[in-house]
Structure 1
Amino acid sequence: MTVDDVLQQVQAGLHLEAETEHEVLEELRGHLEEAVAAGMARGLTSEAALSQAAAALGIEQTAIELQATHAGWGALEGIAAAALPVIFALVLRWFIFAPDGTAAAWRELPVRPALAVIAAVVLLVPLIRFPRRRYALGLWLIFWALSLLTAIWPTTRW
């Protein structure tokens, strides 16, 4: 039995995205190689040290725990993180601008606290929902700026 054999047994129980699975298995490889080196330092053969490390690891239980820890929506979560800022920018644009794109309601904004609440929620939802995807705020700002530009530019008189 080799380290690759142990990793194949663990991999059989994983159903993760390819990149995540590769990272997890590489980290596990490092731990197994360290355990084998420690066993060999105690006088065991490499096969005995690997068998002892695999037994201590608990291959099936490790696969189950790794799957539970690293499973997620993957690509769908990334798409949602990119789509939320666009959707929220459009929603805010609809609250502020008239359907024809004019900024007729700008004077009413300071007296409409509901808009401030909606804007705060729109800013915070991507950050709360996607804690590791902080770029959602940056995307939101880009799309919001583009929305403002497309609404204000035609009404500007030079």
Structure 2
Amino acid sequence: MSDADDLTREIEAQQERLVFSGFDHDDAWRLGSILVERAGDKPVLIDIRRPGLILFRAARTGSTPDNEEWVRRKTAGVFRFETSSMLLQLRFAALGTFPASIGWFDPAQIATAGGSFPIRVAGVGVVAAATVSGLSSEEDHRLVVDAISEFLGV
């Protein structure tokens, strides 16, 4: 078993464990505030959105327009595949496939890089995505997962 396999199983377990009983605009504000606090002075863009509606946004000092593009593409992957962008990255790597080589997968629209995590409501499914861009894939992912874990008390 490889480190990538272990990480894949860990993220799958996170997605099973980090499920909300509900999620509204006030929850987005509270989760976003936790993300801002945990980010500290790191140069990240923080975004929580439903399809078509940004619920929370914070651009920390040092974040750039490039982070906006990464947020857009990571979030698109969460909504399309209903899984974290980090898990997408790991699954494509495990296949040995570069996403651009797949005719139906447009890397200009979807990023396979960590940092966007599905907000899944029990009995409903994915209703939103929490995304961070500005650090490494692993650090972006960890920041979001740690904030969601704190929010849920897990």
Structure with the bigger percentage of helix: 1
Greater Rg, structure 1 or structure 2? 1
Going by fraction, where is strand more abundant, 1 or 2? 2
Instruction: Flag the structure with more relative contact order, 1 or 2, with Cα contacts below 8 A and sequence separation at least 6.
Output: 2
Instruction: Tell me the TM-score range normalised by the shorter chain.
Output: under 0.3
TM-score (norm 1): 0.22
TM normalised by structure 2 equals 0.22
